Amino acid sequence: LQGLYRIMSILHLSNLSGSKRIKMTFSPDLSAMLVTSDGLPSSIAPRNDTINANLYLAPLFAERRFDLQILTSSYRSIFFRLRGAKTGIRASLTAWQSALRPLDVKFQSLFRLICKYNVVPQNQHGNVSDIETSSEFIRLELLRFILLGQSTISGEASNAFDQFFTGATFHDQLFQREARGIDAGVASVEGNLRNNVLTPVRALVYETEELYGMAKARGCKANETPLLDPQCALRLYTSARILYLTLERCLAAVVEARSRVNDFLAWIRGTASQVRARGTASDSVQRQNARDRRVPNGVLQRVSDFLSLPMMHTCREAGDKTKIARKLTECIIGAPVSDFFVGDSFSTDIVNENAKRACTLKSALELTFHSSAVLFNQPRILLSESVKNIDLRFEVKHSQLAIHTRRGAWSSKHNHGGIDEGITPNTFFKPHILNMNDGMDRYRRNWMILARSLGRGEIVEVVAIPGCDASENHKCEYFPDYYLRSSLNLPDHYEVTNIAFYGDD
């Protein structure tokens, strides 16, 4: 439906024989489908003759056509929002890693430097790949440097920091350019999350709530099997809410990390100027620059706080993949934002247990994708089970074949006896039956028309097969067990070369 929502897949026997001459036609309400082919060999056919056509009757299409329209639009919108959120999350992770890369390089060189000064134990020398251990040593030494400065108590660590802050990478103009790039990169992460992830996730929550309301309302009708299970619709709504709440926590962590990065960059710039001014004259340019770039006491207090406090609590249970994805800078500032983007995969069999573990954007998005797929697969199963297949076999072979569908002169009044001939439009198909038997009815809602040429092409046979009459207020409880047949004899020396339907026939 609408070119996006696959209703069902039916394996036709002509696929097994590799037949390419397949024709099909649908009734206007999709309740009947006629498929014709050039015949199957007897080894594939269930009997010793060939199957020339199949009539598929699906009354639920007509009964639930309005529900299917709502489902199609919801399917298209929900998966469009999910794909947009997935793309935005990937872009945000890439932007976050790119923004912190300059600081990661600087802190990796700092760790190697304090290892050379024997500040780190011998068994940890050069172990820069262990991000968590490296960050703990750097955080401890940075806090000690802030509190004690250049003193004998700091030991060799103060010398390592002096060499670190006087390096070429901490030239003031170069560092200012890097600081502006880092701040712009972190700001782009927040903007991307708000514009490309938060907006579709909010719409997703609203649409899943509406879908749950429709499923619950349809489930209240007696003697009617709903297309959607209300419990599955509730799981999808819950998954969308979990994704939204996880995104809000991620945004809060990004805002906090941005504030910490700005304070940290200001303190690094001021500290580098103070180290460069040490030992110079009191009226030198280095002393003046150090006084101008000195950070306020509030910034110094905030930097000391996040260096001394434990790391921010982002996830309930951080797995191995989550810890590996962390960067050195975010571990030093105590804001592991990468935990929200990378998480351990979980089994999709236990949805309730997965909802408790969906504490990252990746896991919450996977849970929502899985819940959506399960929910929208239910109508396919129900509709596939309702399809009835009737095999059509012809005793006489044909050379030309064409199929068509017509709207019949059907009315609900006929169910109570009789139909008003005056209100029946002339454009409706209303066949004339010569030998009327019990059970035959020319007032049918849908007709499948089949025309074929017999013999050498001098006879045209027309077969009218009644479809199943189903609507929103009328269920098809039986299928037609008859068909109408007529033939047209052409004059001598005439034969049929092609058969085609056009217009209203």
**Can you tell me the mean pLDDT for 421-428?**
54
**Confidence label for 387 from pLDDT (cuts 50, 70 and 90):** confident
Q: Give every CB contact of residue 253 below 8 A, 6+ residues apart in sequence.
A: 312, 314, 335, 337, 340
Helix axes 285-292, 230-277, angle to 10 degrees: 150
pLDDT, tens only, 278-309: 888 888 898 898 888 898 999 999 999 999 98
The predicted structure's pLDDT at residue 313: 66
CA dihedral 393, 399, 404, 408 (to 10 degrees): -60
pLDDT, tens only, 116-150: 887 776 555 555 557 878 888 888 888 888 887 66
Helix axes 230-277, 199-218, angle to 10 degrees: 160
- What would the two tokens of residue 433 be? 């039956």
Taking every pair of C-alpha atoms in the chain, what is the biggest distance, in angstroms? 123
Cα 464 to chain centroid distance, Å, stands at 44
Q: What percent of the chain has pLDDT over 90?
A: 27
Kindly report the three-state secondary structure assignment for every residue of 150-177. CCCCCCHHHHHHHHHHCCHHHCHHHHHH
Q: What percent of the chain has pLDDT over 70?
A: 77
